[in-house]
Structure 1
Amino acid sequence: MCDSLLVFEALLLNPTHIDIKDARKLCLHRQSLLTRGGFGRGPSATLAAIKQLGYVQLDTLTVVARAHEHTLWNRLPVFRPSHIEKLQLEGELFEHWSHALALLPMVNYRYALPLMQRIAAGEVHWNKKDKKETTKVLARIRNEGPLSSKDFQDKPQQKTMWSRSPSKRALEQLFMEGELMIPFRRGFQKVYDLRERVLPDWVDTSTPDSSEFARYLIDSHLQAHGFGTAKEIAYLRKGMGAKVKQALQELAEAGEVMPIMVSDSLYYCQPDLLELADQPLPRAGFRILSPFDNAIIQRRRTLELFDFDYQIECYVRKENRKFGYLCLPLLFRNRLVGRLDAKADRASGTLQLLHLQLDDQSGERESFYRSFLPELRRFASFNGCDKLALQRISGCPIGAQRFRDAVDG
């Protein structure tokens, strides 16, 4: 043990240094944000993108397109929400908890089992289990087939924002335990059915031990992000911090991962990543990102790698917001250069640009507009809009009128 510790300490003393520009390029390459054509087209491309990312977060906000659709649209040349419906019905995707509720590749189902089993054993996720209610709900679904919360007639016992009816709490509990799965949705309404009627026969249901689970977290993070710290890899994974650190040490000693330095921060990557650093990878043209995009969901990482201090402000009191309710990060040439608070007015077909804020002088360059305006119109079309309406622009006085003229024209 002492010898292996000495080997690990020696590795840490001599990490490979990566330039911040190369680090951004490698991260965005693994996040599939440099081009949109890497996965092909159709449902198979959507599945390949989700497998590369490891998960795609689900969220209820609909000010613009939902988070999972927005995230996939940014990575695919042609994306349709029906792709997800098809893949879910065919048993290629399932819904469960990653760091939040997410779409996950069915091939990785077994790595959701540790959390399911902890909750089934009594760990509280949202509410304490009501055994009488869960028994009743489970019996109805077993006898009647797939049901949604709307198929139950009881009401919340309180009128607070996050109150749920007893039946809905029971459905969520059974879902988190893995007794129920979501084979499809109606609109965005979850429909629940018994696991044995949803889970494909080919799925491995053996439970990974903590060491195997730690290695899975490392592999999936490095595949999706290129490099990461132990803290990033174990992000919101209860009790896994020490196991991930131990697994990283073992993998480093075996030469399967290596330490690198980016600026003053220590990360780990797989050795083949460094081969990409010298390749002429394209720069990201322009992307209007979801607040829940995999590339920026860990805000501290985003700050350290992109020098971009980002916060979604829908949870901030209106009078305290700086940029807007749903400020979308703007990615231009491998840099995060600002935010766009937007709202899709689908009834009038207008994408309302409530506040465009730029962090630097990108807005003074013609290349910025050549990239941004076509992407903005594409984003409007994706949101069911064919018109743009700009209300406010800040951070770039010289570029403000140019942008207004371009939008109005």
Structure 2
Amino acid sequence: MTRPFLTNPTARRLFLDRHLLLHPGSGSGKGHDLETVLDGLGFVQIDSVNTLARAHDLILWSRRGQYRPSALETLVARRRTGFEHWTHDAAVIPMRFYPMWRLKFERDEARMRTRWPASRRENWEDELETILKHVADHGAVSSLDVGENEEKKSSGWWDWHPSKTALEYLWRSGRIAVCHRRGFRKYYDLPERVIPQEYLSVRREDAEIVDWAMSEALERLGFATSGELAAFFEIASRDEARAWCAAALAERRIVEADIEMANGARRRCFTTEAMLDRAASLPAPSSRVRILSPFDPVLRDRARTERLFGFRFRIEIFVPEAKRTYGYYVFPVMQGERPIGRLDARRVGQAIRVRAFWPEAGERVGKARRAGLLAEIARIGKLAGTTSVEFLEDWMRA
């Protein structure tokens, strides 16, 4: 039988639809509406870089223009409808997924037991029971509240003092939970004080969790290889993902389809009949110019972004390119289903300072597109808490 085929424009539309960017909603961006967005995405990556807005805030704002950072804090720290843990990186995850994370807790703990002794400061394992007792006796703690007599000066990203390492280990293994943040600093408490009982008490078999992780990943990607499905939540192993795809294909729960890439090549992926039907009826994308976070889930897999959108987006630091080196936090800009450029902008006091906009090759910036870009920069000022925009001379690059 001939495999179903999605043209590149159709595949892009389906991918953006699954990532809530084809036609972002006009909801309130808080409360139940924000929970719906988080559930639709599956998770939102947390990142500390804050040149214009933090990554998680910009990701959510891109889907709900009325979103403000306090809404996510309320969702996690007060409503308890989301929890912080790990996918491929730190993330806020819908609370209803918590029972499925038990398998990740176990597997992350096994990996840490194997790898961390060689890559972390010594003696952190000696602090585990001390930290647990401290949290049980005193409630929420941060890394500042433990390791009183330890050397806390750090020489790098992962050069934590032993008690900080113990805190992170206990969190990643599910023995404590993030209860709230102050600024960007995490505070931890026992899971029974953070996770609602209706989720804390649930137990699932490993096979059920793998099936859930793969099915939910496909629902949020629209089409994918087995490796891409495994990478979504980072719960199922690559071998488990391949086995799941083979079984689901035999059971006709999924189908294979050829997806046209930006260069015209075809890539065989898994999808569902329902997803193919959806792809056939999707409307044209919004024509609004959109500033995205470099960590936006639609761009998370850089190789996939390049294949599907023809957009080579890499975060490069100190790379001596003769032609051009983009900074660490240059923002991708899309219009419709196409990446149209990269924006270098940052918050300086009460202003957004726009240093440069580089159009992608072949993308013209006429009056209408320029006006759309300026309008989006003005809109993002509400998220960034700024009152004006400054443009450096020659900010619009060739």
**TM superposition score normalised by structure 2:** 0.89
Q: Secondary structure at the match of 2:344?
A: strand
Q: Which is further off, 48-57 or 244-253?
A: 244-253
* Equivalent residues of 2:210, 2:236 under 8 A apart: no
The equivalent residue for 1:242 is 239
For 1:151, which of 145, 161, 179 is the aligned residue? 145
Contact residue 233 and residue 244 of structure 1 kept, 8 A: yes
Residues 15 and 39 of structure 1, relative CA distance in 2, 3 Å threshold: farther
Match of 1:7 in 2: none
Residue 79 (structure 1) aligns with? 67
Distance apart, 1:205 and its partner CA: 4.7
Match of 1:112 among 76, 101, 119: 101
User: Structure 1 counterpart of 2:356, which letter?
Assistant: H
Change (3 A) 1:157 1:293: same
Partner of 2:167: 171
CA distance, structure 2, for counterparts of residue 109 and residue 238 of structure 1 = 12
- Which of these residues, 31, 44, 51, is aligned with residue 32 of structure 2? 44
Alpha-carbon distance, 1:35 to partner: 2.2
Q: Tell me which of 8, 17, 20 is aligned to 1:29.
A: 17
Structure 1 counterpart of 2:346: 343
Q: Report the Cα distance in structure 1 between the residues aligned to 2:55 and 2:151, rounded to whole angstroms.
A: 27
Counterpart CA distance in 1 for 2:111 and 2:336 is 48
Report if aligned partners of 2:83, 2:178 keep a CA contact under 8 Å in 1.
Answer: yes
Counterpart pick for 1:325 among 323, 328, 345: 328
1:126 Cα deviation from its structure 2 partner: 6.8
- Structure 2: how far apart are the matches of 1:392 and 1:156? 47
Matched, 1:308 2:311: yes
CA-atom RMSD in angstroms = 2.3
- 1:160 corresponds to: 155
Amino acid at match of 2:365: E
1:259 equivalent to 2:256? Answer: yes
- Stretches of structure 1 that go unaligned for 5 or more consecutive residues are 1-12, 398-409
Q: Does 1:290 align with 2:311?
A: no
Change (3 A) 1:155 1:282: farther
CA positional deviation for 1:364: 3.3
The residue aligned with 2:263 is: none
Deviation at 1:354, TM superposition (A): 2.0
Q: Deviations over 1:352-388 (max 9, x none)?
A: 2222111134333333123222111111232122322
Aligned partner (choices 36, 54, 70) of residue 42 of structure 2: 54
1:106 corresponds to which letter in structure 2? M
Residue of structure 1 in register with 2:4 after alignment: 16
Shift in Å, 1:40:
5.3
Does 2:365 match 1:364?
yes
Task: Please identify, of 127-136 and 101-110, the stretch whose mean Cα deviation from structure 2 is larger.
Answer: 127-136
Inter-CA distance 301–103: structure 2 relative to 1 (3 Å threshold): same
**In the TM superposition, what is the alpha-carbon distance from 1:297 to its structure 2 partner?**
0.4
Q: Distance in 2 between matches of 1:201 and 1:238?
A: 23
1:99 is paired with a residue whose SS is coil
Deviations 1:274-302 (A, max 9, x none): 22233252413221110111111001110
Equivalent-residue separation in structure 2 for 1:356 and 1:245 (angstroms): 42
Alignment of 1:198-213 (within 5 A): 198-203=194-199, 205-213=201-209
Q: In the alignment, which residue of structure 2 is the partner of 1:102?
A: 91
Q: Within 1, Cα distance between the matches of 2:8 and 2:89? A: 29
The answer to whether the 8 A contact 1:324-1:355 is kept is no
Gaps in structure 2 of 5+ consecutive residues:
118-122, 261-265
Displacement of 1:393 in angstroms is 5.7
Distance 1:242 1:393 in 2: 51
Paired residue for 2:120?
none
Change (3 A) 1:305 1:223: same
Q: Is the 8 A contact 1:360 1:396 kept in 2?
A: no
Aligned-partner SS, 1:111: helix
Aligned CA distance change for structure 1 residues 63 and 394 (closer, same or farther; 3 Å) = closer
Indicate if the aligned counterparts of 1:114 and 1:207 stay in contact, CA closer than 8 A: no
Counterparts in 2 of 1:204 and 1:258: CA distance versus 1, 3 Å: farther
Instruction: Give the corresponding residue for 1:404.
Output: none
Alpha-carbon separation, structure 2, partners of 1:83 and 1:288: 20
Verify the 8 A CA contact 2:5 2:257 in the aligned structure 1: yes
User: Could you say if the C-alpha distance between residues 93 and 364 of structure 1 is closer, same or farther in structure 2, counting changes exceeding 3 Å?
Assistant: closer
Corresponding position of 2:126: 132
Structure 2: distance between partners of 1:157 and 1:82: 30
Q: Compared with structure 1, are the counterparts of its residues 122 and 222 closer, same or farther at alpha carbon in structure 2 (3 Å cutoff)?
A: closer
2:260 is the counterpart of 1:272: no
Cα distance change, pair 106–359 in 1 and its aligned pair in 2 (3 A): same
Which letter does structure 1 place at the counterpart of 2:283?
Answer: L
1:97 maps to amino acid = W
CA contact 2:108–2:173 (8 Å) conserved in 1: yes
What is the letter of the counterpart of residue 36 of structure 2? A
Separation in structure 2 between the aligned mates of residue 233 and residue 54 of structure 1, nearest angstrom = 12
Q: Relative to 1, partners in 2 of residues 1:78 and 1:239: Cα closer, same or farther, differing over 3 Å?
A: closer
Call closer, same or farther: CA 1:226–1:44 in 2, change over 3 Å.
same
Greater Cα shift, 255-264 or 298-307:
255-264
Asked if structure 1 preserves the Cα contact closer than 8 Å seen for 2:351 and 2:390, the reply is: yes
Which residue is equivalent to 1:390?
391
Once the two structures are TM-superposed, the CA of residue 227 in structure 1 deviates from its matched residue by: 1.1
Deviation at 1:239, TM superposition (A): 6.5
Q: Which residue type is aligned with residue 113 of structure 1?
A: R
Structure 2 residue identity aligned to 1:98: T
**1:192-216: CA deviations, max 9, x gaps?**
1011211211106555444333322
Residue aligned with 2:92, SS? strand
Letter of the 1:78 counterpart: Q
Tell me, in whole angstroms, the C-alpha distance in 2 between the residues paired with 1:229 and 1:39: 32
Q: Conserved in 1, the CA contact under 8 Å of 2:315 and 2:326? A: no
The 1:171–1:268 alpha-carbon spacing in structure 2 relative to 1, beyond 3 Å, is same
Deviation at 1:326, TM superposition (A): 0.8
The percentage of aligned residue pairs carrying the same residue is 27
